[in-house]
Structure 1
Amino acid sequence: DAKRLIGRKFSDPDVQNDMVLWPFKVISGVNDKPMISLKYKGQEKKFCAEEISSMVLSKMCEIAEAFLEFPVKNAVITVPAYFNYSQRKATVDAGAIAGL
């Protein structure tokens, strides 16, 4: 569900409508950026959608490197055709955070 948040604003009507369906809490961060708030080992943690996506991409890289037995430096990451510019840019940012 982080894909639905990536590159969007917390005040976006689509984000507000979708929030009631998610099993996690979404709060407004700096510049109206949606932040996923959760408890981990008794502490509250906040992550933006790009950070969540980068964690998934990093894990996928680890799996690929273990299988291929050599480092993965590049990846092709696709986005749905309906993504706007900010969503596409945020996806690129997630790849950069993951080291791709």
Structure 2
Amino acid sequence: MVGGSTRIPKVQKLLKEFFHGKDLNLSINPDEAVAYGAAVQAAILSGVQDSTVKDVLLVDVTPLSLGIETAGGVMTKIIERNHSIPAKASQIFTTYRQPTSSQYPGV
């Protein structure tokens, strides 16, 4: 668990309840989490063959769902959040009104 809010006891209690009483991992200092991740990523990218990064697998993911605005202002998701990237998806859409020169799909 990382981030400044993880120090708040009420947040810890709610998360523990959400995960059915499972103990939270608080071993990484929330202030150092990003720096730790960046250091691990740098080691992997530079080809370090050290035992500390040997079994680490870092996966880049989309932080938010990607989609298009469809009828009624609803977002139709094309790539779900937390999907690994790079990602490729396609879907066919049609217009539901006669198109005009000022109509473009919302992204």
- Scaled by the length of structure 1, the TM-score of the pair is 0.27
Larger CA Rg, structure 1 vs 2: 2
Give the alignment's TM-score, normalised by structure 2.
0.25
Between structures 1 and 2, the one with greater helix share:
1
Q: Which structure ranks higher in relative contact order (CA pairs < 8 Å, sequence separation ≥ 6)?
A: 1
